[in-house]
Structure 1
Amino acid sequence: MKDVLLQKIENRSIVVGVIGMGYVGLPLAIAFARSGIKVVGFDIDPDKIQKINSGISYFKHIPSKLLKEATNENKLTASTDFADIRYVDAVIMCVPTPLNQFREPDLSYVINTIQSILPYIRSGQVVSLESTTYPGTTEEELLTRIESRGFKVGEDFFLIYSPEREDPGNPNFSTSTIPKVVGGTTKSCLDVGVALYGNIIEKVIPLSSTKAAELTKLLENIYRSVNIGLVNEMKMIADKMEIDIWEVIDAAATKPFGFTPFYPGPGLGGHCIPIDPFYLTWKAKEYGISTKFIELSGEINTKMPEWVVQKVIDGLNDNERSLKNSNVLVIGLAYKKNIDDVRESPSVELMEQLRKKGANIFYSDPYVPHFPKMRDYKFDLSSLDITKENLTLMDCVIISTNHDDVDYDLILKHSKLIVDTRGVYRKNYMNVIKA
């Protein structure tokens, strides 16, 4: 089986199925299609499937041109019918792994997906999980279920874990240029996984196990979470000492060794950094280990919106205004600049806290024209145009996400009060509070 599968990979006759056409699955499917490999994208959302088959991208950072090229050449098709899994040679799962209300791993998407496709998995396939999760998930949740069909791993089917490393909106890296970590359940599984991803990725890094690959992804995100928590704490200390933290970071970054700059903000956003560290926190308890660094950084980062709200209150008080009934405009709904992804965005939590304190909330984001449906938040709002007229109606403007496509000079000129959480205004201005 292994030799047959490797031959298909080598001559590009392999058919790849990607489950989950979100921020990870869609660019991955396009990358396979552009390399000349036939791809079937699977998703339970019929609207996404219709758009893919029509060559229409639903992500700002993915041009429709790329999608249309793939579909016009019949290299990429999309389907809601998981029974079609039987026709593909590789199954790549790119489904969400959120936290539940108790900050515990929610593997329902992974488990429901494998259960849905289990009747259609056949001998000779390779199955890859890309969703971020705790060490042991691939073997505990996927291996046991697939082997229940009577297949033997490494002989009848091949199981790997290869964590996604997408960075939406980053022009310096793409799916194909970001090195890819791969861990296999067996040596044969690893060989197949390296060959599969080697078709589209410039550099593939093989690891000794799926557990090592799972922990690698967590370490990457925990590293960022801890360092962002540190710099957010440093920001609060610097503020009390009346020191400009942005000046300090810029100065420290001139050291050519031993320092990597991280930047403060209103909190953490995106699917990875606010969520993934707690997968390890939860798993570590099974081994009697307390993850103090992880939990402390999470606590600091989670409280940052409160810090910003207090800055808004203080600034309004100085202007002889109360927060209640004040008009507050939040610039940037996405969790980071130049993308339309609002998952776990601190901007949304900031808006919620301000609304609860009686403020009239508005937002402006060139990438998010309407407030999207979200599980925990609901605002009946559309993006406000940044004009002189609209700015003069605001009592406070908060720079929460520093998109490039924003007229910051206009905001500076016509705003009564600006609370800048992203270091947009490096000079000192009378109407700007650095938060």
Structure 2
Amino acid sequence: MPADLAVIGLGSLGLPLAQAAVAAGIPTVGYRTGPDHGSLSAAELRRMLSGGFRQPAGPAELGRVRTAVICAPTSRSADGGLDLGQVEAAARTLAERLRPHTTVILESPVHPGTTEEFLRPLLEEGSGLRAGRDFHLAYSPSRVDPGNRDFTPANTPKVIGGLTPACTESAATFYGRLTDKVVRARGPREAETVQLLETNYRHVNIALVNEMAALCHDLGVDLWDVIRCAETKPFGFQAFRPGPGVGGHAAAQDVTGPAGRGLRMVELAQQVNSRMPRYVVKRAATLLNEHGKSARGARVLLLGVTYKPDVADLQSSPAPEIAIRLRELGAAVSYHDPHMPSWSVLDRPVPRAEALYEAAADADLTILLQHHRTYDLQGLSVKAQLLLDTRGATPTGAAHRL
């Protein structure tokens, strides 16, 4: 049976979309754009395959679908901008096989203007078709939250901005098969800027509480109690919590406009958040010193090295930098993570603790970097000689908190 949908890019954005489409009964093919950072459990893959999912698809199959969604990753380039290499490769491959009346949607995180100024010319030149006349073109910011069981594609509103009103409606018809609510933006630039605002909102607010964490520690104030109280305010406040750094696939974006005006708040947030791994290591060294131990030769156990709880994804996790800095101080670093059977930093394997409680009892310092639900933090706080909790997840008084 021919597929209705091609998901191009099977990483953290494309896989959830493909899963949602298959669950909605849409025949779907997946096309890889590179070393995608996404994974499925054996059970999830079986469910998708039994639902009609086919992957990896060959390029020829891209010309047989009614809708093609580009979910290629856009990582940071050497100059700090977005690397659109995989988006370009996906567009060129699709363009060679693009048929009239196909709906093409971009979901990759991009700067405003990318759909019209970058993607559109690639598709038109490679296909000989005109966007808005011969095929539909739209942008929709991805709203994937890996591991979140409360919000799925079905109950998360989808924003869509098409090149023309007809493009918007065509994309809206597709997404209407997946989600309860479709929100129409005025155009692709507005939809792209929605993604920019949502991503930077997270980074800026995390930066604020990260700075508050350092300030409250210096003042002897319990920040976690402050947040607990502040989040009872029913208006004008949303609770964010500090941590050892900001991970994930959606990096903060500081876009410079035509007048040379950038987002100064975002630039500052990036600086604040990038300092957090160093701050964690500084706190760790101070704690060891306060308990009569030196960082040099200390046995340090890192708990949870993925960027997000209960997700087997290391993308932009602060754990590698923390491990590197601890090693530079002369510490012997080991780790435990139920989702990572092995872990290397700078091509050097990090020893994995198999017996968690014994490892915590043996370590001079245990640092909780990620709170996976399988961790019994009350039990760990009893076993550990010294516990630094960077997530505020341990019971009050059971550990030293960030």
Residues 157-236 of structure 1 correspond to what in structure 2 (within 5 A)?
A: 157-236=135-214
Matched residue of 2:159: which SS? strand
Matched, 1:87 2:64: yes
Q: Encode CA deviations 1:386-412: one digit per residue, 9 max, x unaligned.
A: 434322321110011111101222321
Matched, 1:21 2:2: no
Give the TM-score, by structure 2 length.
0.94
Letter in 2 for 1:384: A
Matched residue of 2:155: which SS? coil
Q: Please tell me the root mean square deviation across aligned C-alpha atoms, in Å.
A: 2.1
Matched, 1:284 2:256: yes
Matched residue of 1:424: which SS? coil
Q: 1:348 maps to which residue?
A: 320
Identity level (%): 34
Residues 285-324 of structure 1 correspond to what in structure 2 (within 5 A)?
A: 285-324=257-296
Does structure 2 conserve the Cα–Cα contact (< 8 Å) formed by 1:46 and 1:80?
no
Q: 2:39 maps to which residue?
A: 58
Q: 2:218 maps to which residue?
A: 240
Does structure 1 conserve the Cα–Cα contact (< 8 Å) formed by 2:3 and 2:64?
no
Letter in 2 for 1:27: P
Matched, 1:103 2:80: yes
Residue 129 (structure 1) shift? 0.5
Query: What is the CA–CA distance in structure 2 between the aligned matches of 1:152 and 1:388, rounded to whole Å?
Result: 62
Inter-CA distance 46–387: structure 2 relative to 1 (3 Å threshold): closer
Residue 111 (structure 1) shift? 1.0
Does structure 2 conserve the Cα–Cα contact (< 8 Å) formed by 1:246 and 1:426?
no
Does structure 2 conserve the Cα–Cα contact (< 8 Å) formed by 1:386 and 1:411?
no
Residue 14 (structure 1) shift? 6.5
Letter in 1 for 2:320: V
Query: What is the CA–CA distance in structure 2 between the aligned matches of 1:205 and 1:386, rounded to whole Å?
Result: 49
Query: What is the CA–CA distance in structure 2 between the aligned matches of 1:46 and 1:298, rounded to whole Å?
Result: 26
The total of aligned residue pairs comes to 401
Residue 188 (structure 1) shift? 1.1
Inter-CA distance 260–331: structure 2 relative to 1 (3 Å threshold): same
Letter in 2 for 1:434: R
Q: 2:236 maps to which residue?
A: 258
Give the TM-score, by structure 1 length.
0.87
Query: What is the CA–CA distance in structure 2 between the aligned matches of 1:46 and 1:311, rounded to whole Å?
Result: 36
Runs (5+) with no aligned partner, structure 1: 1-11, 49-56
Does structure 1 conserve the Cα–Cα contact (< 8 Å) formed by 2:33 and 2:72?
no
Residue of 132, 138, 143 corresponding to 2:109: 132
Does structure 1 conserve the Cα–Cα contact (< 8 Å) formed by 2:33 and 2:86?
no
Residue 381 (structure 1) shift? 3.0
Residue 102 (structure 1) shift? 2.6
Runs (5+) with no aligned partner, structure 2: none
Residues 384-403 of structure 1 correspond to what in structure 2 (within 5 A)?
A: 384-403=353-372
Residue 356 (structure 1) shift? 2.1
Letter in 1 for 2:62: I
Query: What is the CA–CA distance in structure 2 between the aligned matches of 1:35 and 1:305, rounded to whole Å?
Result: 41
Residue 433 (structure 1) shift? 2.1
- The farther-off stretch of 343-352 and 206-215 is 343-352
Query: What is the CA–CA distance in structure 2 between the aligned matches of 1:70 and 1:425, rounded to whole Å?
Result: 37
Matched residue of 2:96: which SS? helix
Matched residue of 1:124: which SS? coil
Residue 336 (structure 1) shift? 1.7
Q: Encode CA deviations 1:162-185: one digit per residue, 9 max, x unaligned.
A: 111011111101122111011101
Residues 351-370 of structure 1 correspond to what in structure 2 (within 5 A)?
A: 351-370=323-342
Query: What is the CA–CA distance in structure 2 between the aligned matches of 1:141 and 1:356, rounded to whole Å?
Result: 43
Query: What is the CA–CA distance in structure 2 between the aligned matches of 1:288 and 1:212, rounded to whole Å?
Result: 20
Letter in 2 for 1:265: G
Residue 27 (structure 1) shift? 1.9
Letter in 1 for 2:227: I
Query: What is the CA–CA distance in structure 2 between the aligned matches of 1:309 and 1:142, rounded to whole Å?
Result: 43
Matched residue of 1:78: which SS? coil
Matched residue of 2:28: which SS? strand
Q: Which segments of structure 1 move beyond 4 Å, counting only runs of 4 or more?
A: 44-48
